[in-house]
Amino acid sequence: MENLTIERPRVLLLIPHLGGGGAEKVFALLARGLSQEKYELHLGVVTGAADPADAIPPAVSVHLLAAPRVRSAAFRLLALVRRLKPQVIVSGMFHLNFLILLLRPLFPRPVQVLVRQNGTVTAALDSGILPSCTRLLYRMLYPLADRVICQSRAMANDLVRELGISAQHLSVMPNPIEVERIRAAMHESSERWTGSGPHLLAVGRLSREKGFDLLLRALVTVREQFAHADLVIAGTGSEEAALKAQCRQLGLESAVRFVGYIDRPSAYFPGASAFVLSSRHEGLPNALLEAAAGGLPIVALPASGGIVDLLRGQTGSWLASEVSAEALAVALLAALSSFGKEQRFKHPFIEEFRFDRAIRAYEDLIDAAIAGAAIKGRM
């Protein structure tokens, strides 16, 4: 009897680069978690120059486009898509999403394009950081996607209000979090911390929107009551020199450590007294979810509706009243006065973000997109 080989649907995941941020981590986890039996998986890394093979399973084909920046990658991306002819493209980060949607009329048909939004549109546009044309690009291009993936219901509602996108065009998907691995790490040594503490941990890119300048100002107030409080900030970015200068100005040089980019922040969870999210605006960061998986007390600014919805009224979470250094200091003092040293909390909301559940949700969405591509192919 003749053996028949069933061709698997081809799925192309696209990300600017690997390492350094929550969106990149989500796509690395998708590459690791999506079924290699169901799909022929490809990962396109647009600006990455280093081989990320150590983080990606060998069965996933990795395509390093090595473009100097996303906006100059159009021809390389188009050549990749025309060569692979995927049934589904999943893109992450808004500037890459814009490029993919601009190129879409030139893609082989049929192809379904899913774009993942990694932040709240209103907050990003109001920040003044993005070019003035960004709002127009969102309005013109996002309706061209077959599906826009949001990290929270609040983010989806914001897209409906801000861009007029139909709610039926949006999918709210949980970020995949390796809950069991993180919980296992909680049994490791806490030698990364010294002194009596309390020990505060913050993770993120060293940029203005992450609000580390607010956290440093809040720490000054905290140390008036907790004289030995210290802080580790894990991350790199353009604001590093300014933040270190601020530490010197505030007299915090001995209380704050900048440890650079850490691939697994959970290494700092043992011994940490609390995780602090100081962002001015934010989507639903993996660093926050990983801290919840580790059971850390969480102190956060109300950086997005998604964060407020997630943390409001939750045991073990302290949500500041507004985005300011003063409000963050009040929340930190309330938290540190409420729990014992290295006390941990269950954070039941983390269950929906478990790796296997999140991957199943993404596979259901991809399967629906593949079915849509097949229907288009017969038209």
Residue 68 sits in the same domain as residue 198:
no
Residue 227 sits in the same domain as residue 348:
yes
The answer as to whether 1 is a domain residue is no
Residue 27 sits in the same domain as residue 102:
yes
What residues contact residue 36 under an 8 Å CB cut-off, 6+ apart? 57, 59, 60
- Identify the domain containing residue 328 by its residue range: 179-353
Sheet holding 170-172, edge to edge: 61-64, 40-45, 10-15, 88-92, 112-116, 147-150, 170-172
Residue 189 sits in the same domain as residue 142:
no
**CATH at residue 167:** 3.40.50.2000
Residue 252 sits in the same domain as residue 333:
yes
Residue 210 sits in the same domain as residue 317:
yes
Contact in structure between 31 and 56 (CB atoms under 8 Å)? yes
Cα Rg of the chain (Å, integer) = 22
Residue 342 sits in the same domain as residue 363:
no
In the chain, how many domains are there?
A: 2
Q: Is 376 exposed, middle or buried (0-12, 13-18, 19+ CB in 10 A)?
A: middle
Task: Please give the Cα distance from 5 to 227 (Å, whole number).
Answer: 67
Three-state secondary structure call for residue 356: helix
Residue 332 sits in the same domain as residue 190:
yes
Task: Please give the Cα distance from 85 to 78 (Å, whole number).
Answer: 10
Residue 125 sits in the same domain as residue 138:
yes
The answer as to whether 289 is a domain residue is yes
Residue 295 sits in the same domain as residue 279:
yes
Residue 170 sits in the same domain as residue 236:
no
Q: What is the pTM of this model?
A: 0.89
pLDDT tens digits for the chain (379 residues)? 444 456 899 999 999 887 667 778 889 899 999 999 999 999 999 986 555 545 788 899 999 998 999 989 999 999 999 999 999 999 988 889 999 999 999 999 889 999 998 877 777 666 666 666 777 888 888 889 999 999 889 889 988 988 888 888 899 999 999 999 999 988 887 788 999 889 999 999 999 999 999 999 999 999 999 999 999 999 999 999 999 999 999 999 999 999 998 888 999 999 999 999 999 988 888 999 999 999 999 999 999 889 999 999 999 999 999 999 999 999 999 999 998 778 999 999 999 999 999 999 999 999 999 987 766 665 5
Residue 333 sits in the same domain as residue 263:
yes
Cβ–Cβ contacts within 10 Å for residue 144, how many? Answer: 14
Task: Please give the Cα distance from 143 to 60 (Å, whole number).
Answer: 30
